[in-house]
Amino acid sequence: MKLLKLLLASLTVTVALSANETLTKNMIEMETALNTIQKGFLYNSPDMVKAGIKQIETTNDIFNNQKATAKYLPKNKKHMANIAFNASKRMDSAANEMKAYLNNKEYSKAFASYSEILNSCNACHSVVRGW
């Protein structure tokens, strides 16, 4: 019985660690995606911007619903999963908006959606970090 409890405890720790690792990996990739988008705008490469958007969408998938989002929040912030999830949805709509503008060659408007993506990063981080 004691052994079983120990085993269960260590399993829980493993699961928690891997959620943490997934989060860190995704956050670093989100940062890379932002850099790619910014570089694409600076060097006038819509294809590069599109590649960055794609990476934003892939990494944002970990927050695909409120429950999944809660998994990545600190213990004392899980009750705010709805706000964090909304930030993630806001990022998805900004990404969609940006794609539509790029397809219409409305690059200034696409750039404005880039700042909307940035704002959505901050919307979640300010919840998580209590800013």
3-state secondary structure 74-115: CHHHHHHHHHHHHHHHHHHHHHHHHHHHHHCCCHHHHHHHHH
Least Cβ distance, residue 72 to ligand HEC (angstroms): 5
24, 96, 115, 126: which one binds ligand HEC (CB under 6 A): 24
Note whether 95 binds ligand HEC by CB under 6 A.
Answer: no
CA dist., res. 25 & res. 88, Å (int): 16
Give yes or no for a contact between 115 and 68, defined as CB atoms under 8 angstroms apart.
no
Note whether 94 binds ligand HEC by CB under 6 A.
Answer: no
36, 88, 94, 102: which one binds ligand HEC (CB under 6 A): 88
Instruction: Specify the residue, 107 or 128, whose C-beta has the smaller distance to ligand HEC.
Output: 128
